[in-house]
Amino acid sequence: MPTLEFDNAFVRDLPADPDTGPGIRQVHGALYSRVAPTPVAAPRLLAHSAEMARRLGFSEADVASPQFAEVFAGNALMAGMEPFAANYGGHQFGNWAGQLGDGRAISLGEIINAVGERWELQLKGAGPTPYSRSADGRAVLRSSIREFLCSEAMHHLGVPTTRALSLVGTGEWVERDMFYDGHPELEHGAIVCRVAPSFIRFGNFELPASRDDVELLRQLVNFCIRRDFPELRGQGQALYAQWFAQVCERTAVMVAHWMRVGFVHGVMNTDNMSILGLTIDYGPYGWVDNFDPGWTPNTTDRHHRRYRFGQQPQVAYWNLGRLAGSLSLLFDGVEPLQDGLRRFVETYTAADRDNVARKLGLDECRDEDVGLMQALQDLMTEAEVDMTLFFRGLADLDIDTLDPAPLREAFYDETRREAAAPALQEWLGRYALRLRDQAVPASERRARMNAANPRYVLRNYLAQQAIDRATEGDFSGVAELLDVMRHPYDEQPGREAFAARRPDWARERAGCSMLSCSS
């Protein structure tokens, strides 16, 4: 294993829980607890991200060594690692939930890599911490595969995200009641090592604020600005205001990317919102197959559908409002925070318009183009149209003939396709008129659209197929899917099956259209 440079700023600069024992507890006046991962029976490396390993300073030989699996299973520490669990709270499904904290995530330390980048390493599923409440601190293989694959897929799609270094099997069983119906089963355990410049969440600020611990809050804000936003200048409230506006901006950019690629996070609680605007916590997430703003993958959310696809920008805004409420303890008045929230709206609106232009292959987004996109989305919802296939097909449209053939495979239902055919033809006519009104050659329009509209996304059923095989001991499906997702915008001859629309068998199957929070 290599010698890596660790600079563990979080534990060095911030107050620790004085209690270092294992017990479950409320932790006041401290931002984390020191806790070691619990060793597992039989660590085995099941998959890794070669790009991330290289970037951190691990060679392929390092990755293949038994020590690598030991470290990333939590059985051994590398020199310089100082493990801890962070203390945070959060609003879950709209309600304040009090102290939550890393109940199964354990950070190992912060690496400074060869080019000076800071990367924190964090195991998910590494065993109990003082924040585990009534749960076991572990994660199952199925959810770990989903987290591992989606982290990397999102990165390759150009969506801000935490990354994944490794997926390690523990050789232990974990009991889960997947449907919360009193039928627990034993599943294989696994641990993902995720990687990000910072794992600070909105909830890390909300907790000290909820306890009126203004000094602890201030300490965390100062630390976060210094470590995670070093480009910001100024001091005091003016600096805090700038910082909050940055958080709003980054959050808006992240959600606009989700909307562009058809990603539904599924559980946008404030403890699952990263201060860096990175997608974090790949739990009951899902990818939109047939375009539907009302769809949520999370079975726990099926009644209220708070976290449905089309609602994500509003929820992000609401979450920023909770963060602003916490930060207000550091301000004399609320105007600077309101300015920040306005920055969210402006940034999101601009990013959404940019999505319209890029997804439709327009030179710019004019006001009427927003309506053009809206009309298309209404049509896609009504006619049950696959979002990913449709936009790729649209890039191939011949605007002289308006032959809808390239769009045909995007439809899930023949009857609905026929019913929607006249409306679609009319829309294509409007679209063609708009395209004639710009001086962009067809080949260039196509290239632009194909750079914004992925050919391959991590469709829920594809991940589930890889999981089914992995459960039988065959991990090649995970590696292959990871490889396909490395180049999501390119045609990959021979891999057309990975771009196919959701098959009928997957329509109502658990893991394919309905995802459990139980992980």
Ligand X SMILES: Nc1ncnc2c1ncn2[C@@H]1O[C@H](COP(=O)(O)OP(=O)(O)OP(=O)(O)O)[C@@H](O)[C@H]1O
Q: Does 194 count as an annotated binding residue?
A: yes
Paired sense of beta strands 185-196 and 118-124, if any: antiparallel
What is the nearest approach in angstroms of Mg ion to the Cβ of residue 271? 5
Q: Which does 135 bind (CB under 5 to 8 A by kind): ligand X, Mg ion, none?
A: ligand X
286 belongs to the binding site for ligand X (CB under 6 A): no
CA distance 451 to 314: 26
d(CA 190, CA 313): 32
CA-only gyration radius of the chain, Å = 23
CB 262 within 8 A of CB 457: yes
Among 268, 125, 133, 137, which Cα is nearest to 203's?
A: 268
Question: Which of 342, 89, 95 lies closest to 200, judged by CA?
Answer: 89
Residue 144: name the closest of 120, 126, 119 by CA: 126
Is residue 392 a known part of a binding site?
A: no
> CB burial class (10 A; 0-12, 13-18, 19+) of residue 304?
exposed
403 is in an annotated binding site: no
> Which one, 188 or 194, has the nearer CB to Mg ion?
194
Residue 508 contacts residue 515 (beta carbons within 8 Å): no
Q: Is 269 annotated as a binding residue?
A: no
Among 51, 136, 382, 409, binds ligand X (CB under 6 A): 136
**Six-digit token pair at 263?**
């990603």
Using the rule CB under 6 A, give the single segment among 73-81, 265-273, 292-300, 405-413 that binds ligand X: 265-273
Question: Which of the listed partners (Mg ion, ligand X, none) does 247 bind, with a CB threshold of 5 to 8 Å by partner kind?
Answer: none
d(CA 121, CA 110): 6
User: Does residue 359 have a known ligand-binding role?
Assistant: no
- 413 assigned to active site: no
One-letter amino acid for residue 11 of the chain: V
Among 37, 89, 137, 277, binds ligand X (CB under 6 A): 137
> Coil, helix or strand for 386?
strand
Size (the chain), residues: 519
In terms of CB distance, is 228 or 281 closer to Mg ion?
281
**Applying CB under 5 A, which of residues 272, 453, 516, 518 lies at the interface with Mg ion?**
272
H helices within 202-334, ranges in order? 202-210, 214-228, 236-261, 312-327
The verdict on 102 binding Mg ion (CB under 5 A) reads: no
Give the residue with the Cβ less far from Mg ion, 152 or 281: 281
- Region binding ligand X by CB under 6 A among candidate stretches 32-40, 66-74, 102-110, 461-469: 102-110
Q: How far is the CB of 59 from ligand X (least distance, A)?
A: 28
103 is known to lie in a ligand binding site: yes
How many chain residues touch ligand X (CB under 6 A)?
19
- Please identify, among the stretches 47-55, 124-132, 221-229, 424-432, the one whose residues bind ligand X according to the rule CB under 6 A: 124-132
281 binds Mg ion (CB under 5 A): yes
| Per-residue interface string for the shown chain with Mg ion, residues 325-364, x marking contact by CB under 5 A | ----------------------------------------
Tokens read off for 320:
């920023």
Residue 339: its H or E element? helix 335-360
Is residue 135 part of the contact set for ligand X (CB under 6 A)?
yes
Among positions 33, 38, 49, 132, the unique one binding ligand X when judged by CB under 6 A: 132
- In the complex, residue closest to ligand X by CB: 103
Is 354 labelled a binding residue? no
Task: Please choose which of Mg ion, ligand X, none residue 136 contacts, taking the beta carbon within 5 to 8 angstroms, the exact cut-off set by kind.
Answer: ligand X
Q: Is 281 in the site for ligand X (CB under 6 A)?
A: yes
Cβ distance to ligand X smaller for residue 132 or 242: 132
Residue labelled with tokens 């004639």: 436
Query: Environment class of residue 79 by beta-carbon count within 10 Å: exposed (0-12), middle (13-18) or buried (19+)?
Result: exposed
Catalytic residue among 102, 271, 289, 301: 271
Among 87, 166, 272, 274, binds ligand X (CB under 6 A): 272
Closest among 350, 262, 279, 286 to 316, alpha carbons compared: 279
Distance CA 312, CA 95 (A): 17
| Beta strands at 286-287 and 263-264: parallel, antiparallel or unpaired | antiparallel
- The residues of the shown chain that bind Mg ion, judged by CB under 5 A, are 272, 281
- Binding positions for Mg(2+) are 272, 281
Q: List residues near ligand X by CB under 6 A.
A: 100-105, 124, 131-132, 135-138, 267, 271-272, 281, 283, 519
Show binding-site residues.
Answer: 101, 103-104, 124, 136-137, 194, 201, 272, 281
Active site residues: 271
Sequence ranges of the binding site for ATP:
101, 103-104, 124, 136-137, 194, 201, 281
